[in-house]
Structure 1
Amino acid sequence: MMMLTLAFRNILRNRRRTLLTVLSMAGGYLLVSVQLSVTEGSYDQVLDFYTRDTTGHVQVTVEGYIETPTLYKAFELTDSLLQTITSVPGVQAVAPRIESSALGYGESRSFPVNVRGVDPEREAALSYLADKVSAGRYLTNEPDAEGYAGVMIGAQVARQLSLGVGDELILVSQGADGSLANDLYRVQGILGQPGDAEERWVVMPLAAAQSFFVLPGEVHRLVILGSDYRAAQRLSEHIDGAVAKPDLAISSWQTVAKEFYETMTADKEGGMITLYVIVFLVCIGVLNTVLMSVLERTGEFGVLKAIGTSPSRLFSLILLETLLLAVIACLLGGLLALPVNLWFTLQGIALAEPMEISGIVFSHYRGQMSTYVFGFPMLVILIASFLIAIMPGIRAARIVPVDAMRTL
Structure 2
Amino acid sequence: VIVFGGVGNSFKSEVIGILTNSNLGDIQIHKKGYVGSIDNLPLDISIPEKGLKKIESLLDNNPEIKAYSPRIRFGAMASNYVQTTGMRFTAVYPEKESKTCPSLVERIKEGNSNPESFVSPGSIVIPLNISTGMNLKLGDNIVLVATNKDGSVNGMTFKISGISENILGPQGKDGYIHIDDAKSLLRIENGEITEIAIKLNNFNKLSSIYAGLKNELKNIQGETTAKPMFEIHTWEELSPFASISKIVTLLIMVVRLVLISIVLISILNVMMMSVYERIGEIGTIASIGTLPSKILALFLTEGLSLGFFSAIAGSIIGIIIILFINLVKLKFKFGMMEISLAPQIPTAEVFFALVIVVIISALASLQPAFKASKMEPVEALRHV
TM interval, short-chain normalised: 0.7 to 0.9
1:248 to 230, 234, 240: 230
Distance in 2 between the 1:41 and 1:166 partners? 39
Q: In the alignment, which residue of structure 1 is the partner of 2:209?
A: 235
Q: In the alignment, which residue of structure 2 is the partner of 1:29?
A: none
The 5 A counterparts of 1:5-404 are 32-69=1-38, 70-71=41-42, 72-76=44-48, 78-127=52-101, 128-138=103-113, 139=117, 142-143=120-121, 149-192=122-165, 196=169, 200-215=173-188, 216-244=190-218, 245=220, 246-257=228-239, 259-270=240-251, 272-295=253-276, 296=278, 299=283, 318-349=299-330, 351=331, 355=333, 362=339, 364-395=340-371, 399=374, 403-404=376-377
TM-superposition CA deviations, 1:312-353 (whole Å, max 9, x none): x8766654542333223222333343333223234433x4xx
Say if 1:163 and 1:288 are closer, same or farther in 2 by CA, change over 3 A: closer
Shift of 1:120: 0.6
Distance in 2 between the 1:307 and 1:181 partners? 97
Classify the secondary structure of the residue corresponding to 1:219.
coil
| 2:120 and 2:177 in contact (8 A); partners too | no
TM-score by length of 2: 0.79
Instruction: Could you tell me which runs of 5 or more consecutive residues in structure 1 were left unpaired when the two chains were aligned.
Output: 1-31, 144-148
In structure 1, what residue type is equivalent to 2:47?
Answer: F
Shift of 1:385: 1.8
Distance in 2 between the 1:88 and 1:314 partners? 64
Shift of 1:101: 0.9
Worse-matched range after superposition: 118-127 or 182-191: 182-191
Distance in 1 between the 2:322 and 2:118 partners? 44
Worse-matched range after superposition: 294-303 or 234-243: 294-303
Say if 1:110 and 1:380 are closer, same or farther in 2 by CA, change over 3 A: same
Say if 1:301 and 1:39 are closer, same or farther in 2 by CA, change over 3 A: farther
Shift of 1:113: 1.1
Say if 1:162 and 1:197 are closer, same or farther in 2 by CA, change over 3 A: closer
Distance in 1 between the 2:309 and 2:284 partners? 25
Distance in 1 between the 2:69 and 2:58 partners? 14
Shift of 1:361: 5.4
Shift of 1:255: 1.6
Distance in 2 between the 1:262 and 1:372 partners? 24
| 1:319 and 1:386 in contact (8 A); partners too | yes
In structure 2, what residue type is equivalent to 1:389?
Answer: S
Worse-matched range after superposition: 236-245 or 111-120: 236-245
| 1:116 and 1:203 in contact (8 A); partners too | yes
Distance in 2 between the 1:76 and 1:223 partners? 16
Higher relative contact order (CA 8 A, sep 6+): 1
Distance in 2 between the 1:382 and 1:287 partners? 13
Distance in 2 between the 1:59 and 1:101 partners? 19
Distance in 2 between the 1:387 and 1:227 partners? 44
Work out the number of aligned pairs and report it: 360
Say if 1:54 and 1:390 are closer, same or farther in 2 by CA, change over 3 A: farther
TM-superposition CA deviations, 1:170-223 (whole Å, max 9, x none): 222221123223333332222236985685223111222233234432222211
TM-score by length of 1: 0.75
Shift of 1:117: 0.9
In structure 2, what residue type is equivalent to 1:380?
Answer: I
| 2:267 and 2:307 in contact (8 A); partners too | no
Matched-pair identity in %:
19
In structure 2, what residue type is equivalent to 1:73?
Answer: I
Shift of 1:388: 1.5
In structure 1, what residue type is equivalent to 2:261?
Answer: F
Distance in 1 between the 2:321 and 2:26 partners? 31
Classify the secondary structure of the residue corresponding to 1:266.
helix
In structure 2, what residue type is equivalent to 1:255?
Answer: E
Distance in 2 between the 1:129 and 1:372 partners? 32
Q: In the alignment, which residue of structure 2 is the partner of 1:15?
A: none
Shift of 1:131: 1.8
| 2:73 and 2:89 in contact (8 A); partners too | yes
After superposition, the CA RMSD in angstroms is 3.4
In structure 1, what residue type is equivalent to 2:235?
Answer: W
Q: In the alignment, which residue of structure 1 is the partner of 2:223?
A: none
Classify the secondary structure of the residue corresponding to 1:75.
coil
Say if 1:250 and 1:406 are closer, same or farther in 2 by CA, change over 3 A: same
Distance in 2 between the 1:65 and 1:389 partners? 59
Classify the secondary structure of the residue corresponding to 2:36.
coil
